[in-house]
Structure 1
Amino acid sequence: MNTAMNQLEQLLTQQVEGEVRFDDYSKALYSTDASLYQINPVGVVIPRTKADVQRTIQICYESDIPILPRGGGTSLAGQTVGRAVIIDFSKYMNQIIEVNVAEHWARVEPGIVLDELNSQLKPYGLMYAPDVATSSRANVGGTIGNNSAGSHSVIYGKTIDHVMELELILSNGELILTKAMTPDQVEKKKTEQTLEAKIYRKVCQITHDYQDLIRERFPRILRRVAGYNLDEFVIGAGSKEVTPYRRDDGSDQNLFNLSKIIVGSEGTLATVTESKINLVPIPKMTALSVIHFETLIESMEAVAPILECQPTAIELIDDTIINMTKGSAAFSKASDFIKKDAKGNGPGAILAVEFYGESIQELVNQLDNVEKKMISKELGYAFVRCITQEEKSNVWETRKAGLGLLMGMTGDRKPVGFVEDAAVRIEDLPEYVRRFSDIIAAHDTTAAYYAHASVGLLHNRPVINLKSESDIQKMHSIAKQVKDLLIELDGAMSGEHGDGLVRSEWIESMFGSEMYQIFRQLKQTFDPSGIMNPGKIVDGPPMTENLRFGNNYNTIKIDTYFDFSNQGGFNRAIEMCNGVAACRKTLTGTMCPSYIGTREEIHSTRGRANALRHVISGSLPQEHFKSKELYEVLDLCLECKACKSECPSHVDMAKIKYEFLAQYHDQHGLPVRNRLFGHIDSLSDIGSKMVPFSNWLMNSSVSKWMMDKFFGIDRRRSLPNFAEETFVQWFKTRPSRTLDNRQQVVFFYDTFTNYNYPNVGQSVVKVLESAGFDVILPPKRCCGRPMISKGMLNEATQNARHNISWLLPYAKKGLPIVGCEPSCISALTDDYVELLPGDDSRLVAEHTLMIEEFLLKEKERLRFSDIDQNILLHGHCHQKALIGLQPSLEVLNLPVNYTVNSVDSSCCGMAGSFGYEKEHYDLSMKIAEARLLEPIRSHLSDSLGNSQVAISGTSCREQIKHSTGYEPKHIVELLCEAIIHT
């Protein structure tokens, strides 16, 4: 077998222009998606062109090896894992080929991400309608394979309603084009002697001979993606007759289009290399009515009358999700729109009902209408109108945050997706929910309810322990009973997430044996050799096979430096990644900078978590835990902490990397460069005493060459100069401002503020004293952030212990401890509590905050001049992840003539020492260019002499200065320029 695989790898490498990967780590990364399953693939091909795809399929066809097309790997049903050669379209085949604005269509490659597509279409006022929850990383090819839909399918239908043409490669390597055809064109096609012709003959024969059976077996509901779409070719059958969307260009929707059998076929019939897709106008204005109900059932009873008001979406959020959000300090503010009933109880469920309109008045009229409808039906007890962007964002943030908190449950019991895609008729929603709840209760578990209620689709996730054999059997029993219920209600098990490995077992029961055999005939005609993503839709394995965990899952025990008890231990911290791939988004947020810069799965949070999990569980050799291979997997993690907040499951990869590095260096020794950067505070103390000689020396061409040659510090970088007078020296020699009865503030200054940028520290002191505070400087050590980042956890713990011992008396007095460097303050608030868990570290953390947060709380004490500044704010990663940018934005807006905007950037790419390291320099710059530097250049070019760029992190300052030649200012420096000193 190994010889055959080696030959296959060699053949593919010779004939494919793209990348061919058959190493163990690559196979491990592609062994999972966002589903419950894990199957190691044969290998991975990352094609650059459609010719690469064709050659790959031809080679696999001749070698009798399965193939599996894949995009973002966001499948919830296991469609994109299998024992096959994975073809990953997402890295290279991700372009828009053509946009026809007049006719509202685009031609695209399958690997383009939905949000990236719509971002490029936005200037034309158009968009691709399927709006799946994973649109920030899901690929168009995936929406086609899955027949995806989303929140607005009540007006836009499913993907099948928007696919006009497909370019396909069949199982034998034939390249064909499917599009709308007249009867004469179809008849001519059937006469040819090709696999394509054979397929046309078979589809025509099936849909003619079995049209009555198709009408009988396909449910007439809005959302059904299970099986193959034979109902699309039969008048009066299934979803075809109830779809809400039709193109309005006058084209005949009833022409024969083989594309419709490919949509939703999950790669089991053919591989898409290009698609012509319909586009729709972007809605001009939207508004929400958030309707509160005492019970979940009442909310389901309200869906039908709400639909009479012609909404564009109806989204269900149940009390479980609401309560989890309300109980979270991070998200409780966003859910302030939730109202209690007359008895003081919160809602059992809410429906977020959306409307489109051309004007505010039109939206108000629609909101009036739906409220009157509910009142007349005596449904709902409160109606909250959301018209502004902030109001609407709070609703969607509550839904998103609640689901994230749900998915981030600690321990082995998790909300599991296996009956999360059921669809029924609107009038059957109350009955389905009642009986589903009974099934869940009978199995002694719970489930959260959320839904695209407008189309009768419910996403319910029972809580299951997939490491327990009894719970695995419980999962199967629940699925079987839900399947029987859906058959009784003439519903579907797959409303939008597809069949895959989790639901293919039930296809024969859902459609009946005769229809199932027809599906098999169709598959056999398209794919005689059975190489196209086998085991999905037909002839699938039992849903309890190939589980990612399973009752035989075990992990090695690792004694850790950090306390991982909040995550259930180090291993469970890794296992928190459930594969939803939010770390592969590129247009918004910070996570994940290394993926943004490389477009490589291995350099996403999911990729790293996957590799780690394979090692700790033995899927890869467990001795790899301290191996060079795993070190390289984690090497490009910039430790930005964004995944801790932006990942729906709150995977903390920065903390996991700190721990790994400590374990790795314990075995392999600490490199000299790590030691140098880890002790930057001590080295800066020496350098500052040798100014100006030290500044000349470290930035001379000879020194840069030596640092590059011997320490791997890139010669293209310049280290920040030491100040002639340190901040501490200035503080001690300045005229004393201490007065009786003034409140005190502890200033935890950082290394770079002290030795390199004392003007930042001076600004902090001046602003605080102007606000009437006395400033205390504690006898501190370096916060330890450079040590933590390099895995020097023993030494970092010593610094943490020292600092806590000095800061604790201030915290016990209730004094605020403020800082101006986010990575320094995050050490105190986020890392110390897990390096030295206990009441002392927690108390210090509770009293520690950024200077912006403190000033915002004390804003009444501040007086500002009318100086005019136009400011663009870039937030530090740790600040965005742990605090958010809102305090910085609000405090910068306190001066009356300050105009402040923030840039939606990822990491700046510097990340402490990362951008200085020779092997990381190019990636560092690529990350900066992705979403940060162009907005800064644009802002500065529009300057009228008063434009500034604001930062809070030293790394950000150095990267921007290096990349643009402009030196940004710290937030507190800009505040100090406007402060009226008293």
Structure 2
Amino acid sequence: MPTGSDHRQPNRAWPLDALAADLTAAVAGEVRFDPGSRAAYSTDASNYRALPLGVVVPRTPEDAMAAIAICREHDMPVLSRGGGTSLAGQCCNAAVVLDWTKYCHRMVALDASARTVVVEPGIALDALNRELSAHDLMVGPKPATHVSCTIGGMIGNNSCGSTAQAYGKTVDSVRRLEVLTYEGTRMWVGPGPAGLTDQLRDALRDIADRYAEDIRASYPRIPRRVSGYNLDSLLPEYGFDAAKFLVGSESTLVTVLRAELELVEVPAAKTLVVLGFPDVFAAADAVPEVLRHDPAALEGLDGRLVQLERGRHVAVHAIQQLPDGNAWLMAQFDGNTQDEADAAGREMMREVRGRTGASGTLVDDPDREAELWSAREAGLGATAYPLDGPATHEGWEDAAVPPERLGDYLREFEALLKRFGYESSSLYGHFGQGCVHTRIPFDLRTAEGIARYREFVTDSAHLVVDHGGSLSGEHGDGQSRAELLRIMFGDRLINAFGEVKHLFDPRDRMNPGKIVSPRPLDADLREGTTYRPWEPATHFAFPEDGFRFSRAANRCVGVGKCRGEHGGVMCPSYRATREEEHSTRGRARLLFEMLEGDVITEGWRSTEVRDALDLCLACKGCRNDCPVEVDMATYKAEFLSHHYHRRLRPMAHYSMGWIPLWARLATGAAPVVNALTHTRGLRGAIARLGGVDPRRPFPRFARHRFTQTFTPAVDLASAPQGRVLLWPDTFTNNFEPRIAHDAAEVLAAAGFAVEIPERTVCCGLTWISTGQLATARRVLRRTLRILEPALREGVPVVVLEPSCAAVFRSDLPELLHGDEDAHRLAGQTRTLAEILAERAPRWSPPVIGGSAVVQPHCHQHAILHLDRDEELLAATGSDIDVLDAGCCGLAGNFGFERGHYEISVACAEDALLPALRACSPETTILADGFSCRTQIRHLLPEARPRHAAELLAAAIRGEKP
């Protein structure tokens, strides 16, 4: 096999200008050959990187056909891409990339009675299943990336997931495929030879006949064989199924235009049994015992995974529910009724515990089940960056063996890891089908480390084959394993793969270098021996990334959770535009390429990176929702600081970015300022002057600031809970001071002596969000000087505005890293709910009753979390519904800035506004964030959103909510 430390894609001089021009003329969709688009698609979730020639976003399958026809005329390679979450390098290539996800995501036809559906390839699995849920139907396979993986990608990869135990791989759900060859043949194929051209039919039958015995002898008979082409589907005993044969071909043979899938019924009831074992080997040994009871899913996870998740505070509630042990099996049982599912689970648990001595627990509450499954699905994110070790990589993360041999395989695999000096971050996966996931701390930056990586995966391939397994049990071959397929299949079947490839793609233009005639597994590495990114000086410290911005920009592992369309906060602008460069992942890719300097060459001055970051709302949702905690809001602030250094900024940076100063001046003349900003004609002129969208109404300034009218407590003897310092943030102090007075009233009722800073203070939020970091640092240092006495005495600082509290908890210690007062303030910052729970646990709020919906501020969700808030509000006796509606879309200055209005409104209309419109008039709307309340008032004028402090204070005063 070839060796070497770093092999980059050859720099072939493609005539791209002519290609781009012809594509633009022929395609109704979007054609992009700009550096930013190429950078955004340069990699997937694998170790590999290859800059595409360009990107085409087709509007219809026929549009994609037109694009491929132009590529054929120019003899250019093509790669179809779905969610871009491939772990083996299938989705990065020096080719014209077809991104199906923006437009080609329609459900074409549904036959609920026959349980079949026809879809376009760009539809995401979760999105499709939501449409099907009205009919109690779903797609059977469910990969861990179900929020973003597409049906086309699942077909290309033959994806599986935990439900494959019951429903098989994607190949088992595919009924028919409409496909296009590179040479232009379009056909619907399915069971039997129908639809194939005579040439393809005869040639495939000839290949199947000549290699039949090799296929029967060399294809392992296990549930999770994903490696190689599905030549077994061409055998007579499997019905010569051309559609199933093409599944898993990774865009190397055909382009999928549409697919017909067989659906399954959504289980009426589910029960989850969790069994605890002393180690992962004992858990693996028990798999055959559990399989005798026919579970619908059987997953395994080891103690190392749980340890990593606990360290990162991931799936905390789920971890607390695990029974005793250091490894666990999670077995799901489905039934027509809950009693039926529970009975099956209890019977299995009784017998397996009796035979193995395992501990166990049964869970049939849907919320608790979801929490436990979240612990399993969080595996990749938790293991990518262990807190106690180096970063880990794919490369040998999904091998599969017969389930009955899993325990022996894992023992030998563990010995192999030790022999090479590796420690796996964890062993987990689909144990019921013998498929094991792991990430390994390969050194992919030095020649020695890369050589060791090559030797290790080669030995691992032999180990898996010796156990009757498959190199890939789920993630496909791509570039990680294609070179090793000869070990698994032998020379004759490798020749058969080559014949198939030549039959469908004689010019080798379909995703070349994958599966057949593969590029070396140590070529095209995203890092490699030539990896030497630009390492700029920064304002933020990036302590979680070794104090290096390059590591922060390379933190994204590409799983694409930011491309989800439902639930959580990230990424609101992607949900509005469906553009890769507007996802957290896409922006991270551009920052990585900026530091590489190959395609994005202007560094901090890059317009491509600026434009991608422009629609980032700085919501910080990714800080919580991203499996590896990418913090794009911080990256954006850092970039903007350098991009506009000694340059004229957008006017909104001066108006909105300096709002603490303007607000202080405006409240001194509030009636005049409010009249000017709310007078037709003048309002529009002021908006344009300040870089504000004229459709956005200005908030009204208060006549008197909170700090002007508040009288601090002086009698500490009557305050059993001690002193607190109530933070007068810019928004509450200058626009809604009543909220601060209400909060002071609540704190006093709970036994606190409330104080405020003696001088004007600011957290610097607006300067941070607009990238004016030098100013933000000066503001924060001044604030620390003013707060110094309180910080020295350990006085809690109660912050009512979530975004300001998040600055103190997160941004401040990274901007002023090493400043002990900065770290003290981060540790002493409390929300209203937190201070009441920690310092006044015996105080109970008045009973309020009624119902309330809560819109969490994005920074609340990402940095502060809502556990204490939910407990406090529940104690009022109210029926509380915490919305999972994502970002409100205003996000501080973002929604005010000219050019952002449509995106801002689209974010609100995604889930928040529909949820509020569905509320009864008697329902109280709670939103602690000033931005959230402002957006709701603008777009739903009849709504009266309130801060939780207002609700509590009103109850203390005996007023109705």
Q: How does the TM-score come out when normalised to structure 1?
A: 0.93
Match of 1:561 among 539, 557, 566: 539
> Are 1:977 and 2:958 matched, yes or no?
no
Q: How does 1:536-685 map to 2 (within 5 A)?
A: 536-568=514-546, 569-685=548-664
Look up the match of 2:224. 223
Task: Report the secondary structure of 2:450's partner residue.
Answer: helix
User: Please, which runs of 5 or more residues in structure 2 have no aligned partner?
Assistant: 1-11
Alpha-carbon distance in 1 for matches of 2:725, 2:222: 64
Q: How does 1:873-952 map to 2 (within 5 A)?
A: 873-896=854-877, 898-939=878-919, 942-943=920-921, 946-952=922-928
Alpha-carbon distance in 1 for matches of 2:76, 2:379: 42
Alpha-carbon distance in 1 for matches of 2:249, 2:281: 34
Look up the match of 1:963. 939
- What amino acid does structure 2 have at the position aligned with 1:202? A
Match of 1:869 among 847, 850, 856: 850
Task: Report the secondary structure of 1:422's partner residue.
Answer: coil
Alpha-carbon distance in 1 for matches of 2:137, 2:437: 29
- What amino acid does structure 2 have at the position aligned with 1:657? K
Match of 1:507 among 467, 485, 488: 485
Q: How does 1:59-74 map to 2 (within 5 A)?
A: 59-74=70-85
- How far off is 1:853 after superposition? 2.2
Closer/same/farther in 2, CA of residues 657 and 171 from structure 1, 3 Å limit: same
- How far off is 1:624 after superposition? 2.8
Alpha-carbon distance in 1 for matches of 2:389, 2:542: 15
Look up the match of 2:449. 471
Closer/same/farther in 2, CA of residues 420 and 974 from structure 1, 3 Å limit: same
Look up the match of 2:708. 729
- What amino acid does structure 2 have at the position aligned with 1:795? T
- How far off is 1:333 after superposition? 4.5
Look up the match of 1:819. 799
Closer/same/farther in 2, CA of residues 30 and 840 from structure 1, 3 Å limit: same
Match of 1:291 among 258, 275, 280: 275
Match of 1:122 among 126, 129, 133: 133
Match of 2:347 among 369, 387, 403: 369
Per-residue CA shift, 1:206-254, capped at 9, x if unaligned?
Answer: 2223222210111111111111111123256xxxxxxxxxxxxxxxxx5
Look up the match of 1:264. 248
Asked if structure 2 preserves the Cα contact closer than 8 Å seen for 1:411 and 1:567, the reply is no
- How far off is 1:279 after superposition? 0.9
Task: Report the secondary structure of 1:289's partner residue.
Answer: strand
Task: Report the secondary structure of 1:919's partner residue.
Answer: coil
Q: How does 1:212-251 map to 2 (within 5 A)?
A: 212-234=213-235
Alpha-carbon distance in 2 for matches of 1:122, 1:331: 26
Q: How does 1:21-420 map to 2 (within 5 A)?
A: 21-181=32-192, 186=194, 196-234=197-235, 255-329=239-313, 331-340=315-324, 347-380=325-358, 382-401=359-378, 403-409=380-386, 413-420=390-397
- What amino acid does structure 2 have at the position aligned with 1:434? R
Look up the match of 1:840. 821
- How far off is 1:400 after superposition? 3.9
Per-residue CA shift, 1:929-951, capped at 9, x if unaligned?
Answer: 11111111111xx33xx212110
> Are 1:745 and 2:713 matched, yes or no?
no
Look up the match of 1:705. 684
Alpha-carbon distance in 1 for matches of 2:33, 2:76: 14
> Are 1:852 and 2:853 matched, yes or no?
no
Asked if structure 1 preserves the Cα contact closer than 8 Å seen for 2:112 and 2:135, the reply is yes
Task: Report the secondary structure of 1:918's partner residue.
Answer: coil
Task: Report the secondary structure of 1:837's partner residue.
Answer: coil
- What amino acid does structure 1 have at the position aligned with 2:297? A
Q: How does the TM-score come out when normalised to structure 2?
A: 0.95
Aligned residue-pair number: 942
Once the two structures are overlaid, the 10-residue window that deviates more, 800-809 or 16-25, is: 800-809
- What amino acid does structure 1 have at the position aligned with 2:826? A
Asked if structure 2 preserves the Cα contact closer than 8 Å seen for 1:411 and 1:572, the reply is no
Task: Report the secondary structure of 1:180's partner residue.
Answer: coil
- What amino acid does structure 1 have at the position aligned with 2:98? I
- How far off is 1:412 after superposition? 9.7
Look up the match of 1:246. none
Closer/same/farther in 2, CA of residues 816 and 590 from structure 1, 3 Å limit: same
Look up the match of 2:408. 431
Once the two structures are overlaid, the 10-residue window that deviates more, 812-821 or 514-523, is: 812-821
Alpha-carbon distance in 2 for matches of 1:107, 1:67: 24
Match of 1:714 among 665, 684, 693: 693
Look up the match of 1:760. 739
- What amino acid does structure 2 have at the position aligned with 1:462? I
Asked if structure 2 preserves the Cα contact closer than 8 Å seen for 1:612 and 1:625, the reply is no
- What amino acid does structure 2 have at the position aligned with 1:892? L
- What amino acid does structure 2 have at the position aligned with 1:579? G
Closer/same/farther in 2, CA of residues 847 and 86 from structure 1, 3 Å limit: same
Alpha-carbon distance in 2 for matches of 1:533, 1:627: 30
Alpha-carbon distance in 2 for matches of 1:87, 1:411: 40
Alpha-carbon distance in 2 for matches of 1:657, 1:764: 33
Look up the match of 2:7. none
- What amino acid does structure 2 have at the position aligned with 1:511? F
Alpha-carbon distance in 2 for matches of 1:2, 1:470: 32
Per-residue CA shift, 1:349-385, capped at 9, x if unaligned?
Answer: 11112111233332332232222222332342x2122
- What amino acid does structure 1 have at the position aligned with 2:883? V
Asked if structure 2 preserves the Cα contact closer than 8 Å seen for 1:476 and 1:543, the reply is yes
Alpha-carbon distance in 2 for matches of 1:145, 1:765: 59
Asked if structure 2 preserves the Cα contact closer than 8 Å seen for 1:556 and 1:622, the reply is no
Per-residue CA shift, 1:39-71, capped at 9, x if unaligned?
Answer: 111111110012211111122222211111111
Alpha-carbon distance in 1 for matches of 2:48, 2:344: 44
Closer/same/farther in 2, CA of residues 268 and 398 from structure 1, 3 Å limit: same
- How far off is 1:541 after superposition? 1.1
Asked if structure 2 preserves the Cα contact closer than 8 Å seen for 1:408 and 1:648, the reply is no
Alpha-carbon distance in 1 for matches of 2:356, 2:390: 39
- How far off is 1:427 after superposition? 1.4
Once the two structures are overlaid, the 10-residue window that deviates more, 871-880 or 738-747, is: 738-747
- How far off is 1:553 after superposition? 0.4
Per-residue CA shift, 1:608-654, capped at 9, x if unaligned?
Answer: 11111111122235433223332212111111111111111111111
Closer/same/farther in 2, CA of residues 541 and 2 from structure 1, 3 Å limit: closer
User: Please, which runs of 5 or more residues in structure 1 have no aligned partner?
Assistant: 191-195, 237-253, 341-346
Alpha-carbon distance in 1 for matches of 2:839, 2:370: 28
Look up the match of 1:4. 15
Alpha-carbon distance in 2 for matches of 1:453, 1:879: 37
Task: Report the secondary structure of 1:510's partner residue.
Answer: helix
Closer/same/farther in 2, CA of residues 864 and 852 from structure 1, 3 Å limit: closer
Asked if structure 2 preserves the Cα contact closer than 8 Å seen for 1:413 and 1:465, the reply is no
Identity of aligned residues (%): 35
- How far off is 1:858 after superposition? 5.4
Look up the match of 1:241. none
Asked if structure 1 preserves the Cα contact closer than 8 Å seen for 2:181 and 2:253, the reply is yes
Look up the match of 1:497. 475
Asked if structure 2 preserves the Cα contact closer than 8 Å seen for 1:414 and 1:465, the reply is no
- How far off is 1:140 after superposition? 0.4
Closer/same/farther in 2, CA of residues 645 and 735 from structure 1, 3 Å limit: closer
Closer/same/farther in 2, CA of residues 104 and 94 from structure 1, 3 Å limit: same
- How far off is 1:759 after superposition? 1.4
- How far off is 1:331 after superposition? 4.9
Asked if structure 2 preserves the Cα contact closer than 8 Å seen for 1:60 and 1:66, the reply is yes
> Are 1:794 and 2:774 matched, yes or no?
yes
Alpha-carbon distance in 2 for matches of 1:570, 1:673: 27
Asked if structure 2 preserves the Cα contact closer than 8 Å seen for 1:412 and 1:465, the reply is no
Per-residue CA shift, 1:719-758, capped at 9, x if unaligned?
Answer: 11112232122213x9977654532221112111111111
Task: Report the secondary structure of 1:801's partner residue.
Answer: helix
> Are 1:15 and 2:13 matched, yes or no?
no
Closer/same/farther in 2, CA of residues 691 and 378 from structure 1, 3 Å limit: closer
